[in-house]
Amino acid sequence: GAGSALSATKQVKLERESELRIEVGTDAPLRLRVVAGTAEIFGTELPPEIWFSFPPRHKFAVFTWYGATVEMDGETETDYTADETPMVSYVNVHAVLDARRNRARASPAGSESSQGPRVIVVGPTDSGKSTLSKMLLSWAAKQGWKPTFVDLDIGQGSITIPGSIAATPIELPIDPVEGVPLEMPLVYYYGHTTPSNNVDLYKVLAKELADTLERQFSGNAESRAAGMVINTMGWIEGVGYELLQHAINTFKANVVLVLGQEKLFSMLKKDALKINPSIDVVKLQKSGGVVSRNVKYRQKARSYRIREYFYGLGNELSPHASIASFSDLSIYRIGGGPQAPHSALPIGAKPVADPLRLAPVNISRDLLHVVLAVSFAKEADQIVSSNVAGFVYVTDVDVQRKKITFLAPSPGELPSKLLIMGTLTWLET
Ligand code: ATP
- Give the tens place of pLDDT for each residue, 258-279: 998 899 999 999 998 888 889 9
Asked if 232 and 205 touch (Cβ cutoff 8 Å), the reply is no
Atom in ligand 1 nearest the alpha carbon of residue 298: 3
Count of CB atoms within 10 A of residue 362's CB?
9
Residue of 133, 291, 298 to test ligand 1 pocket, by largest number of atoms within 8 Å of CB: 291
pLDDT score at 4: 43
Q: Phi, psi (5° rounding) for residue 183?
A: -70, 120
Q: Output the CA angle 184-187-193, nearest 5 degrees.
A: 135
Mutate to test the pocket of ligand 1, among 23, 131, 180 (most ligand atoms within 8 A of CB): 131
Question: What atom of ligand 1 comes closest to residue 85's alpha carbon?
Answer: 27
Query: Average pLDDT of the chain?
Result: 92
Please give the pLDDT value at position 256. 97
Q: What is the pLDDT of residue 349?
A: 63
Which pLDDT score is estimated for 191?
96
Residue 205: exposure state from Cβ atoms within 10 A (0-12, 13-18, ≥19) = buried
- Collapsing DSSP to helix, strand or coil, 150 comes out as strand
Q: Which of 129, 184, 189, 196 is nearest to 163 (CA)?
A: 189
Ligand 1 neighbourhood includes 82 CB (under 6 angstroms)? no
Which stretches in the chain have pLDDT values below 50?
1-6, 339
pLDDT of residue 16: 98
Look at residue 112 in the predicted model and tell me its pLDDT.
85
Q: How far apart are CA 126 and CA 16, in angstroms?
A: 26
CA of 132 to the centre of ligand 1 (A): 9
Pairing of strands 403-408, 330-334: unpaired
Rounded distance between C-alpha atoms, residue 179 and residue 336, angstroms: 34
> 238 Cβ partners below 8 Å, 6+ apart?
none
pLDDT of residue 345: 63
Q: How far is the CA of 425 from the centre of ligand 1 (A)?
A: 25
